[in-house]
Every structure is written in C-alpha cells, then in structure tokens.
Copies of this chain bind each other. A is one copy, B any other.
Amino acid sequence: MAVYEIKPEFYNYVFSPYLEPAAKINPGDTVVFHTEDAFEGRINSVDVKPKEALKDANFLNPQTGPVYINGAEPGDTLVCKIDSIEFTRDWAVSAIMEYFGGLQSNDITKTLQQPLEEKVYMWKSLEDGKYFRNEEIGVTIPATPFCGTMATAPKLEAISALAPGKFGGNMDVPDTKPGNILYLPIYNEGGLFYIGDVHAAQGEGELCGVALEISAKVTVTFDIIKGKTIKWPRIESPDRIMSVGSAKPMEDAARISYADLIEWMVDDYGFKKMDAYQLLSQVGELYVGNMVDIVYSLCASIDKKYLKQDK
C-alpha cells in the first residue's frame, strides 16, 4: 500500500474525463492532496475587494487531481476513506460577494436589485487550528474541517468545479470529513478523482456561499468495489449511512437523497422498499448541505442501529 503526495503546480477547474491524471495509484493506496482554497488565495485580507481580486481568475474552486485508480471501470464504486485534514495556513477567509449566496439574487434567480456590498471576513486559527476566531464579530468557533469538493469525472461531460451532481463535486456537505467514507460512482476507466475546497468550518446551507475557506493537506485512502454500481454519492460514518442528492428546486434534492437511501437499505440491508420508506419517515434525518451552488445538495441519513431488523 503506497502513499503518494500530490502538490500541484497548477489546478483544474472542471471535473473532466479529458484531463491527464496527476497520479496513477492502486486500490488500497493513500494519497496526500495539497488543496488550495476556493479563491486560490486571492482573498487574504479585509482590505481586498473580492470582485477586483478575482478579476484575473478565469475560474474558481481549484481542484487537485485527477487521480487514476488502476482497475477502476465504469459501473464500479470508488471508496474514499478520508483519513485526515491538516490546514496549511493559520487563517481562513469568508466573504459577502456580489450576486452570490443564499440571501441574494444571482444570475439564475435573477432580479433587478442592487447587490449586497462586498465584505471580507478573516478568521484566525487558534490552538493550532482547533478553533477559528473573527475579531470583528467577536466570536470563536470550533474547527469542523471537511472537503467541500470531492468528485469522479462524469461520463462524456466536463462539469464546472462549482457544481455538485451525481459524480459528487461541490456538494459542500459537512459530512465529507475525516473518519467518514465517501462512495462515488465511477464513469470512466481509472475513476479520475478530484478534490478541493477544504472548509475549516461551515454551517448547514453554507448560507452566504462562502465557508471558512482554507488551504490544506487532505489524506485519502482509496478502494474500489468491483461491480457495485451506485447512482449518487453516499457517505458512511461510524454511526450513520447517508445519501447526498443535488438538484434544483431543493425538494428534488430531498427526494433524490431519501430515494437513494431507501435503495441502499433495500440492496445492502435487506429492507422491503416500503418498509425502508416507512422507517425513514420516522427516524430519518435530512439537512441542507448547500443552498448556494449551481444546484443544492441535501443529505439524508439513518442511524445504523435501525438497520438491523429483529424479527
């Protein structure tokens, strides 16, 4: 089981089957990914004007990868065990940006109103990244690091790194965190795994559209489940199984995530479909990951203790 380290000299901005692999690895191997923040470090002080600073950025949300996993074939499932996230700087940044975020109109939910005024929030790392503090608000919050973006390349399409979808992508779901396993559909030979957009912390919904953006080293161990086909990203924690649906309007993301969780319970845990539907109606959980990206991501889950039927 080899360990690789990928420190890119340049980044990618699409989940694409057309890009050269940054590395080829075997199932069981571990990769340490260096990731840049969503702005590629361009917003680093309260004096920066985001619109100005991003003018020369053709694209946002830089991705490290893709990683080619030997033996991965369309129809298999990629297993991504998130081992650890280590911040590589002592600050994180968030910002109010123009025509972006959950409580602002944008290019799609279009209005004629003026945008909100830009504003940068700097968050300082405390106790070696255990906490983050914003002096202006006067608040300290615990770090809850996770990867905003993890994806396999779609089939035929090359999709913006700002979008979530069946392939994973920019889901911004806080459960893609150390200790958990992300399962992704494989559409291409080698799977072609992309990663980026580490958040030091993020609320459910990623309300203003920008979490505590930070650069990091993310360690992931990969495996493949041959012949196992999934349709949407799935997450497993020590206690829960979860499905992530991404769509607009938001109710479609809700429908997808719960429907996929039912399918999981039927296929792997022996539930009858209607029984799984019934049980999730009583003990399922459903939170909003993002309400700000190209499409919205919701995460439906159930405690593993309910997965064993005693009859």
Contacts and interface: CB of A to CB of B under 8 A. Distances in A.
A105 B14 CA distance: 30
A13 interface: yes
Interface string A66-84: 0000000000000000000
Interface stretch (A1-9, A25-33, A215-223, A253-261): A253-261
Interface residues of A, number: 89
A251 B287 contact: no
A16 interface: yes
Contacts of A281: 94, 101, 202-203, 205-211
Given A139-B310, A310-B138, A284 B103 contact: no
Nearest to A259: B110
Contact of A121 (B205, B251, B278, B286): B278
A298 B105 CA distance: 19
A295 to B, nearest CB: 8
Nearest to A14: B156
A283 interface: yes
A235 interface: no
Interface in A233-274: 247-252, 254-256, 258-259, 262, 271, 273-274
A251 B291 contact: yes
A102 interface: yes
A111 B273 CA distance: 12
Contact of A112 (B104, B156, B157, B248): B104
Contacts of A206: 281
Contacts of A134: 278
Contact of A102 (B16, B138, B248, B254): B254
A139 B252 contact: no
A111 B207 CA distance: 11
Given A102-B255, A111-B104, A254-B291, A282 B202 contact: yes
Contacts of A310: 138-140
Given A138-B310, A251-B250, A256 B108 contact: yes
Contacts of A119: 274, 278
Contact of A277 (B13, B208, B280, B288): B208
A296 interface: yes
Interface string A124-162: 000000000011111111000000000000001111100
A143 B14 CA distance: 41
Interface string A172-213: 000000000000000000000000000001111111111110
Interface of A: 13-14, 16, 18, 58-59, 94, 96, 101-105, 107-117, 119, 121, 123, 134-141, 156-160, 201-212, 231, 247-252, 254-256, 258-259, 262, 271, 273-275, 277-288, 291, 296, 298, 300, 306, 309-311
Interchain residue pairs A-B with the least CB separation, the first 4: A138-B311, A249-B249, A250-B250, A203-B284
